[in-house]
C-alpha cells in the first residue's frame, strides 16, 4: 500500500509547482503568443504558423475528408472537392490563406455524426485516477490508456511507484441519464509490472490490471494511440482542440471545439523558450491533470499538465472572484486560469524512445512506440494515401493515366488471393476464388496502413521480367554496376530468392535503374540509374501512381516499409528519383518507370527536408534536392545522358529507428561522357546528422545539412561497395592550391563551389 501521506496536500503542492513553471513560460512567450493571436485574428495565416506545418495540416485534413468520402458524397465546397480529387499532396508553395481556410472550414463543416462517434471511442479510454489514503478514496487526476496494459498521466499525479501502488484508474465514471446504466469499473495500477515517470516532461506511465474489481476486462476499452506525425493541429482561426477530463474528480466531461492552439515551437529559438510544451485555450480545473488534448479528428495532440494562472499588473495570481490569491490562505481550486499548457505528443514519444528498459517492459511499451491502434479501431484507422477518390465526372484521360501507371504486364485473375498478416493477431484474407496463397511476414511494427500496402501488392515476381534495369552501355562505354567488396563491414549482398530472370541472383532490375540490397540493413547498397534528358517521352512528377509498395521478389521483412515512416519526420527518400527514371519510348513506358521508383527497395529514411529542394521547402538549406535539380538543369541544357549511383553510407553509429538503423549520410556519383571523349565522374556526400540527431521531433526548421564534393575513391573507402573504373574517371582535382582535397572534401555552399565538372 505504501507509506501514509496527505494526498490532498501532496497534490496541491504538485499543482502549484507546475503552475509556477507554466506561468514563467507564459510570460516569456507573451510577445510571440500575442503576435500569433493577432495574426490569427487578422487571418494572416503564414504569420501565425509556418508554411511547412500548415501544408502538413492541410494534407492531413484533406486525407481525412477523402477517406470519409469513399462511401458517400463528395464535399459540396468546390475548392475542397478539387483538393480531395487531386493525386498529389499540397506543398508549401501551393498554399495561400484561402486554401488553408477552405480546407480547415470545409473539413470542419464536412463532419458527420462520425465526429461524435469517434469522440465517444476516445472518451472510453479516459478515466479518473483514484488514490487510497487515510482510509478513504479520493480523486487525484485524470489518466488514459495508451496500450493494451498501460496508462498515461502526469508525473505530479503519480510521483512515485509507492504512490501508484495506492492508486487505481476508474473507467466509465460518467453521467448516464439516457440509455442503459453504465457501471463504473475500477482497475488497480500495477507499478511492479511497469512504472516510469519524468518530472521535466511531466509524464508517468504505469501498468494497469487486466481485470477490474467488478470483473470487467481492460481489453474492452482499447487505448488512445500516440501519433507524433506532424499535421495534427495548426495555429489557425478555425482549428480546434478538445479535452476529455475528470475536473475535480467529477464525472467525465469534455471541453469541445471552441478552444484554439495559441503557441508552440516552430523554430529553434521557440524551442529554447517553450521546450516540449504548447499553450492553448480551454476550461480546466484541479483534477484535469493528465487529460488528453485532442484535435477534431480525435487524435492526441498533447498531454494536459497545468493551467496558467491569471495575474494582475503586479504579477499576483487572482482568484475566480478577481481577488488576489494567497498561497496558504486560498485553495488551489480558487485560482483563475487564463490559459493552459500541455506536453506535445512528439516530445513525449521522443523521451519514451530514450528509455532504457528490460525486454519485458520494452515489449509492454512497444505498441506505444509503434503508434499502434487497438483492434477495435481497425475499421476506423485512417490509412495514409495520395490516391484520389475518383468522381463520376473525372476526365477519361486522367483515369487512363492512373490505369497505365501500373506495370503493363499485370494480369486479371479469377484466382483467390490470400494474405496472412500479423497485426499482431493473425488474419487470413481472401479475394476471388482459387488456391493461390501469399504468406506475408511483417515486423512487430506493422500498422494497418502497412498491412494495406501489402495487400495491394498482388504482383508476382515474374511480372518484373520486362525490366531491363540499369544499362551498363548507356553512355556508349561500359560503366559497370558497383560490386561488393570481398570483406564487408555492414552486411552482405541480399540474394534475391524469387528472381524474375534466372541469372539475377542479386540485382533487382526496374525500368531505367537497378538496385543491390544490403541483407543486414534491409536498405539498398546502391541504386544505379540511367538518365536521358532528350527521351522520346517523359512524364512529370504529378503524373502516375505515387503509392509505395514492396517488391515481391524479396521477402517483405527484408524491406523497410511504410510503418517505419509513420509517426516521425522521416520521408521515404527516393534513391533513384522519379524525375531521373520517368522517361521511355512512349507515355506508357515512362509512366511505368515512374511507378517503379515507388518501391521501398528504392527508399531510405531521410529527414523531411533532406531530399526536397529549396523551391519546395522555402528553407534555403544546402539540400540534396537542390543538387539533383542543378544536375538535371545542366543535363537538360546539354541534352545529354548521365548514369548516376545513389546510396547510403553505413556506419557503426547510425541512428536507431524502431528496429533498424538510419544512415547519417548518402552518396551520389554522377557519370557522363562528352561525345567520344573519355567518361567523366564526380562524387558528392550529403550528411543529415544534425537534423536527425533529435528526431522524432515536430520542429523541422532546426539543424542543417552538410553537402560536400569528395573524391570517388575517398567515398569508396567508406563503403562496402566498389565503383571500379568509375573511380579512375573522377574529374575532381587531385590537389593544388585552393582545389586541394583530402578525405574531408569540399563543402558545397553554392553550386559555384563544385570543381572539375565543367560547371
DSSP line for 181-214: PPPPEEEEB-TTT-EEEETTTTEEEEEB-SB-TT
> What is the model's pLDDT at position 543?
63
> What is the model's pLDDT at position 430?
35
Give the whole-angstrom CA distance, residue 704 versus residue 400.
42
* Phi, psi of 83, deg, nearest 5: -70, -35
Give the whole-angstrom CA distance, residue 58 versus residue 81.
13
Q: Grid coordinates standing for 601?
A: 527497395
CA distances 611 to 250, 608, 644, Å, are 50, 7, 16
**Domain for residue 572, yes or no?**
yes
HSE (side-chain half, CA atoms, 13 Å) at 228: 27
Is residue 161 classed exposed, middle or buried when 0-12, 13-18 and 19+ CB atoms within 10 A define those classes? Answer: middle
At which residue does the C-alpha cell 490490471 appear?
A: 209
Q: Grid coordinates standing for 756?
A: 572539375
SS3 of residue 730 by DSSP: strand
Q: Is the dihedral of CA 246, 247, 248, 252 positive or negative?
A: negative
- Radius of gyration from C-alpha coordinates of the chain: 28
Domain end residue (candidates: 345, 368, 389): 345
Co-location of 510 and 647 in the same domain: yes
Which run of H or E residues covers position 594?
Answer: helix 587-596
Co-location of 104 and 239 in the same domain: yes
Domain containing residue 701: CATH number:
3.40.570.10
Contact 435, 424 (CB under 8 A): no
In the chain, how many domains are there?
2
**Domain for residue 133, yes or no?**
no
CA distances 64 to 61, 345, 388, 451, 542, Å, are 5, 20, 12, 19, 21
Cβ neighbours for 466, distance < 8 A, ≥ 6 positions apart: 407, 408, 409
**Domain for residue 57, yes or no?**
yes
**Domain for residue 256, yes or no?**
yes
Q: In what order do the strands lie in the sheet with 437-439?
A: 426-431, 417-422, 437-439
DSSP result, 491-514: -PBPP-SS-SSTT-SSEEEETTEE
Distance between start and end Cα atoms, the chain? 75
CA-wise closest residue to 203 among 141, 237, 159: 159
**Domain for residue 627, yes or no?**
yes
CA distances 628 to 106, 646, 735, Å, are 37, 11, 26
> What is the model's pLDDT at position 539?
83
Is residue 643 classed exposed, middle or buried when 0-12, 13-18 and 19+ CB atoms within 10 A define those classes? Answer: buried
DSSP result, 453-496: HHHT----GGGGTT---S-TTTTSS--PPPEE-SS-SS-PBPP-
Give the whole-angstrom CA distance, residue 92 versus residue 295.
22
Q: Grid coordinates standing for 165?
A: 501502488
> What is the model's pLDDT at position 312?
94
Which run of H or E residues covers position 163?
Answer: helix 161-165
Give the whole-angstrom CA distance, residue 77 versus residue 63.
15
* Phi, psi of 94, deg, nearest 5: -75, -25
Give the whole-angstrom CA distance, residue 508 versus residue 511.
10
**Domain for residue 208, yes or no?**
no
Going by their DSSP bridges, the two strands 417-422 and 437-439 should be labelled as parallel
**Domain for residue 175, yes or no?**
no
Domain end residue (candidates: 328, 345, 362): 345
CA distances 427 to 424, 439, 454, 555, 609, Å, are 9, 11, 13, 19, 37
> What is the model's pLDDT at position 278?
94
Domain end residue (candidates: 325, 345, 365): 345
> What is the model's pLDDT at position 146?
97
For the chain, counts of helices (H) and of strands (E): 19, 33
Domain containing residue 337: CATH number:
2.40.10.10
Q: Is the peptide bond before 424 cis (omega within 30 degrees of 0)?
A: yes
Give the whole-angstrom CA distance, residue 364 versus residue 362.
5
Low-confidence ranges of the chain (pLDDT < 70): 1-9, 68-76, 87, 106, 108-112, 257-258, 287, 376-459, 541-546, 567-569, 607-639, 688-707, 734-744, 747-759
Residue 632: count other Cβ atoms within 10 Å of its Cβ.
16
Measured CA angle at 596 (ends 594, 601), to 5 deg: 135
**Domain for residue 528, yes or no?**
yes
SS3 of residue 656 by DSSP: strand
Which run of H or E residues covers position 131?
Answer: strand 126-133
Q: Which letter, b or e, does each residue of 529-539 get, where b requires 16 or more Cβ atoms within 10 Å of its Cβ?
A: bbbbbebeebb
> What is the model's pLDDT at position 118?
86
Contact 152, 143 (CB under 8 A): yes
Q: Domain of residue 285: give its range.
A: 13-111+227-345
Predicted model pTM: 0.54
Contact 104, 239 (CB under 8 A): yes
Amino acid at each position: 500500500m505504501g507509506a501514509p501521506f496527505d494526498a490532498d496536500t501532496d497534490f496541491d503542492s504538485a499543482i502549484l509547482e507546475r503552475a509556477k513553471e507554466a506561468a514563467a513560460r507564459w510570460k516569456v512567450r507573451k510577445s510571440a503568443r500575442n503576435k500569433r493571436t493577432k495574426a490569427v485574428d487578422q487571418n494572416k495565416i503564414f504569420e501565425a504558423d509556418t508554411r511547412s506545418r500548415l501544408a502538413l495540416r492541410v494534407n492531413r485534413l484533406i486525407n481525412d475528408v477523402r477517406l470519409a468520402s469513399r462511401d458517400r458524397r463528395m464535399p459540396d465546397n468546390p475548392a475542397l472537392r478539387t483538393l480531395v480529387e487531386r493525386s498529389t499532396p499540397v506543398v508549401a508553395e501551393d498554399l495561400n490563406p484561402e486554401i488553408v481556410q477552405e480546407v480547415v472550414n470545409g473539413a470542419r463543416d464536412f463532419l458527420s455524426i462520425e465526429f461524435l462517434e469517434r469522440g465517444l471511442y476516445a472518451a472510453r479510454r479516459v478515466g479518473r485516477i483514484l488514490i487510497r489514503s487515510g482510509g478513504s478514496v479520493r480523486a487525484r487526476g485524470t489518466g488514459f490508456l495508451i496500450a493494451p496494459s498501460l496508462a498515461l498521466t502526469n508525473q505530479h499525479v503519480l510521483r512515485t511507484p509507492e504512490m501508484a501502488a495506492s492508486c487505481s484508474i476508474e473507467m466509465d465514471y460518467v453521467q448516464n441519464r439516457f440509455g442503459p446504466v453504465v457501471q463504473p469499473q475500477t482497475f488497480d495500477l500495477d507499478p511492479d509490472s511497469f512504472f516510469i515517470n519524468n518530472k521535466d516532461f511531466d509524464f508517468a506511465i504505469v501498468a494497469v490490471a487486466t481485470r477490474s474489481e467488478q470483473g470487467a476486462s481492460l481489453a474492452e476499452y482499447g487505448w488512445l494511440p500516440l501519433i507524433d506525425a506532424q499535421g495534427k493541429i495548426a495555429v489557425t482561426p478555425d482549428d480546434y482542440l478538445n479535452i476529455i477530463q475528470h475536473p475535480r474528480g467529477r464525472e467525465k466531461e469534455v471541453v469541445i471545439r471552441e478552444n484554439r492552439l495559441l503557441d508552440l515551437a516552430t523554430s529553434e529559438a521557440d524551442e529554447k523558450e517553450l521546450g516540449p510544451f504548447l499553450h492553448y485555450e480551454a476550461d480546466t480545473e484541479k483534477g484535469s491533470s493528465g487529460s488528453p488534448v485532442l484535435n477534431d479528428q480525435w487524435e492526441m495532440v498533447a498531454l494536459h499538465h497545468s493551467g496558467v494562472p491569471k495575474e494582475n499588473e503586479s504579477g499576483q495570481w487572482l482568484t475566480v472572484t478577481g481577488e488576489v490569491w494567497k498561497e496558504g490562505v486560498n485553495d488551489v481550486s480558487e485560482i483563475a486560469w487564463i490559459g493552459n499548457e500541455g506536453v506535445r505528443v512528439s516530445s513525449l514519444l521522443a523521451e519514451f524512445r530514450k528509455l532504457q528498459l528490460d525486454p519485458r517492459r520494452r515489449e509492454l511499451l512497444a505498441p506505444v512506440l509503434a503508434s499502434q491502434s487497438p483492434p477495435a479501431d481497425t475499421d476506423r484507422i485512417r490509412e495514409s494515401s495520395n490516391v484520389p477518390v475518383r468522381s463520376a465526372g473525372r476526365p477519361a484521360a486522367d483515369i487512363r493515366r492512373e490505369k497505365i501507371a501500373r506495370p503493363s504486364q499485370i494480369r486479371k485473375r479469377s484466382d483467390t488471393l490470400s494474405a496472412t498478416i500479423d497485426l499482431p493477431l493473425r488474419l487470413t484474407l481472401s479475394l476471388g476464388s482459387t488456391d493461390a496463397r501469399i504468406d506475408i511476414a511483417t515486423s512487430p511494427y506493422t500498422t494497418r496502413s502497412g498491412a494495406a500496402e501489402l495487400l495491394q501488392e498482388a504482383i508476382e515476381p515474374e511480372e518484373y521480367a520486362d525490366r531491363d534495369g540499369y544499362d551498363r552501355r548507356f553512355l556508349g562505354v561500359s560503366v559497370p554496376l558497383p560490386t561488393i567488396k570481398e570483406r564487408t563491414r555492414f552486411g552482405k549482398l541480399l540474394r534475391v530468392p524469387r528472381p524474375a530472370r534466372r541469372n539475377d541472383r542479386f540485382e533487382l532490375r526496374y525500368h531505367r535503374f537497378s538496385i543491390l540490397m544490403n541483407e543486414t540493413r534491409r536498405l539498398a547498397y546502391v541504386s544505379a540509374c540511367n538518365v536521358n534528358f532528350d527521351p522520346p517521352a517523359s512524364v512529370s512528377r504529378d503524373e502516375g501512381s505515387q503509392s509505395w509498395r514492396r517488391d515481391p521478389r524479396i521477402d517483405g521483412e527484408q524491406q523497410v516499409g511504410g510503418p517505419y515512416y509513420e509517426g516521425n519526420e522521416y520521408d521515404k527518400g527516393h534513391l533513384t528519383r522519379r524525375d531521373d527514371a520517368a522517361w521511355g519510348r512512349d507515355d506508357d513506358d515512362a509512366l511505368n518507370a515512374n511507378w517503379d521508383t515507388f518501391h521501398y527497395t528504392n527508399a531510405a529514411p531521410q529527414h523531411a527536408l533532406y531530399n526536397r529542394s529549396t523551391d519546395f521547402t522555402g528553407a534555403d538549406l544546402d539540400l540534396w534536392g537542390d543538387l539533383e535539380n542543378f544536375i538535371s538543369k545542366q543535363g537538360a541544357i546539354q541534352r545529354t545522358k548521365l548514369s548516376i549511383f545513389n546510396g547510403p553510407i553505413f556506419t557503426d553509429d547510425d541512428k536507431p529507428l524502431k528496429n533498424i538503423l538510419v544512415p547519417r549520410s548518402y552518396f551520389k556519383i554522377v557519370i557522363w561522357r562528352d561525345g567520344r571523349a573519355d567518361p567523366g565522374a564526380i562524387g558528392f556526400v550529403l550528411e543529415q546528422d544534425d537534423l536527425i540527431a533529435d528526431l522524432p521531433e515536430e520542429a523541422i526548421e532546426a539543424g542543417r545539412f552538410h553537402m560536400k564534393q569528395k573524391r570517388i575513391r575517398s567515398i569508396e573507402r567508406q563503403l562496402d561497395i566498389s565503383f571500379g573504373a568509375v573511380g579512375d574517371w573522377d574529374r575532381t582535382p587531385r590537389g593544388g592550391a585552393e582545389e586541394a582535397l583530402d578525405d574531408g572534401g569540399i563543402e558545397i555552399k553554392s553550386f559555384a563551389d563544385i570543381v572539375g565538372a565543367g560547371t
